[in-house]
Amino acid sequence: MDGTRIDKWLWAARFFKTRELAAKTCDQGKVEWGEARAKPAREVRVGDRLRIETPGGVFEVEVLGLSQKRGSAAIAHELYRESEASAEARRKAAEETKLRRLMEPAPFAPAGRPSKRDRRLIHTFSGKSFSGRGR
C-alpha cells in the first residue's frame, strides 16, 4: 500500500470516532499536512508530518504506518509517533484546565430538598399538575 486517504487514516488511528468526523475536521482546516490544509481525499504516506486539532488537543504526529481498517488502540498507536513538544503541550493544557476547574466556584446548586413553593414552580414549568395525580 503506497498511500491512504487522510480521513480513513485519521479514523483508523483513532483520532476520531467516525470517518465522517475526520472528513469534517479536514474540511474545516483543522488538519495540516506539512504547511498546507489537508483535504479528506489527500493521500497520506509513511513519513508525512501532520498537525491535527481534536477536542482532546492539538497533535503533531509523524506517520509510521498506513491502515484503512480501524483496529484496537494498541495497533492504532503504532501508526504514528507524536512529537515530544506536542505531548508536553497537551499535558500542560490538561493541567491548566484541571486547576481552572478547581479554582472556579461551583455552579449554583440548591441545598437540600426543594420547598413546597419550589416544587410548585418546578411543576408549572414542566406542565405537571400541583397535586401530582396527573390530571
Higher pLDDT, 91 or 103: 91
pLDDT per residue over 67-100, tens digit each?
989 999 999 999 999 999 999 999 999 999 889 8
What percent of the chain has pLDDT above 90?
61
> In terms of residue numbers, what domain contains 31?
4-87
Asked if the structure places residue 56 within a domain, the reply is yes
Asked if the structure places residue 12 within a domain, the reply is yes
Asked if the structure places residue 75 within a domain, the reply is yes
**Which ranges constitute the DSSP H helices of 38-113?**
73-77, 84-103
Average pLDDT over residues 118-134: 75
- Number of domains composing the chain: 1
Strand 36-37: give its sheet, edge to edge. 36-37, 31-33, 49-54, 57-63, 80-82
Higher pLDDT, 119 or 6: 6
Domain with residue 16: its CATH number is: 3.10.290.10
